[in-house]
Structure 1
Amino acid sequence: MGDHRWWISDLREFERDFPDWRLEYDVGDMLLEIYEENSERWSAGRR
């Protein structure tokens, strides 16, 4: 899991330079992964 501080919405130039690269995550997938990785820690902080 990486750091999701910025988002590039137009990938055409990148895809042109790296034709074998494929997008694996969309915004929903990223948010779900962030939640799943942190939910226990966040809940523990509320006690």
Structure 2
Amino acid sequence: MTMPSGLAFHGGALHASAWAVAGFLGMPDAGQVVRVADSAFVPAS
């Protein structure tokens, strides 16, 4: 995930903001909120 700056847990899913500072880099429309896939997590051993 590129330039994350925030997380939210909603409806049993984790969401993160991406490209949050893109506006400062001259890319004002690059910001996104994406769902973090379950496969991103590894079970505790």
Shared topology, TM-score over 0.5?
no
Higher strand share: 2
Higher relative contact order by CA 8 Å / sep ≥ 6: 1 or 2? 2
Give the TM-score normalised by structure 1: 0.26
